[in-house]
Chain A
């Protein structure tokens, strides 16, 4: 059973790499990708912490509800660990 995670709903301003359309959506971890420097610090010329990065898979039904073209199609995105919470 793949690990289920939810993307945080927060909407801070500034440079983040978590798309708005995924905020608050639940998916499963497709694979861990390892630690990568946090872009939210790199973008401002700050020393960057390493964050674990994950490929998270969402169903189109989860993202778009009734409006999904095909509910079982999927969307994969890379999300940093500090944007995810366990479900």
Chain B
């Protein structure tokens, strides 16, 4: 669960709660961030507006983007075929600004469940889904997902039968991955917006399943 950092009492002069990260003692690494940013701006390599725009662009990316892609694929077989053929182009076709992302979509079926990890660092389709969850970057997930995916999935509450083949994808190089979950039963009458609301972030990483209506 996301949690906030409003563990200080009192409000700022503007009436908002202080963010702990902004009024806790300044750290060496925070000073480095400020210094690097200022030096790069003063030397003309960057502008403050570019930094602000990049933060806005990243904030605008979220699992909702991926959920819309999944819902379209569930609703439109021709789109699904294009997604599986070239997921980057399919996302761009829907209007998402994914930059240079090379995306591969892997499809869950009754026989197959896919799961994504990056054992060497924390590669993630950030230009579509936003920044990865903390657990995706941990030693525990990175170490174990490739050797005992079923045990890891059980920790996420997903218990798959032995007959289901698990395909783990280690994002070792230039590709990023999104799982196309299987469409839940009982959703035959639902439109794309309603379907998208069933698609969780974890279902697109493969550590979860979509909600059921």
Contacts and interface: CB of A to CB of B under 8 A. Distances in A.
Q: A contacts B directly in the complex (CB < 8 Å)?
A: yes
Interface of A: 17-19, 21, 33, 36, 39, 53, 55, 63-64, 67, 69-70, 72-80
A77 to B, nearest CB: 4
B141 to A, nearest CB: 15
Contacts, number: 64
B173 A53 contact: yes
A63 B148 CA distance: 11
Nearest to B168: A75
B150 A69 contact: yes
B60 interface: no
A39 B148 contact: no
Interface of B: 102, 119-120, 146-151, 162, 165-175
Nearest to B171: A78
A19 B120 contact: yes
B149 A69 contact: yes
10 contacts: A17-B120, A19-B170, A33-B175, A36-B173, A39-B173, A73-B165, A74-B167, A78-B172, A78-B174, A79-B173
A53 B146 CA distance: 20
A35 B27 CA distance: 42
Nearest to B151: A69
Contacts of B172: 17-19, 77-79
A18 B119 CA distance: 10
Contact of B150 (A67, A70, A72, A75): A70
A33 B175 CA distance: 9
B146 A76 contact: no
B162 A74 contact: no
Contacts of B149: 69, 73
B81 to A, nearest CB: 16
A48 B143 CA distance: 30
Given A19-B120, A55-B175, A64 B147 contact: yes
Contacts of A72: 165
| Leading 3 A-B pairs by shortest Cβ distance | A78-B173, A73-B166, A77-B170
Given A63-B146, A64-B147, A36 B168 contact: no
Contact of B173 (A17, A63, A69): A17
Contacts of B146: 21, 63, 75
Given A76-B167, A76-B168, 5 more contacts: A18-B172, A36-B173, A69-B149, A75-B167, A75-B169
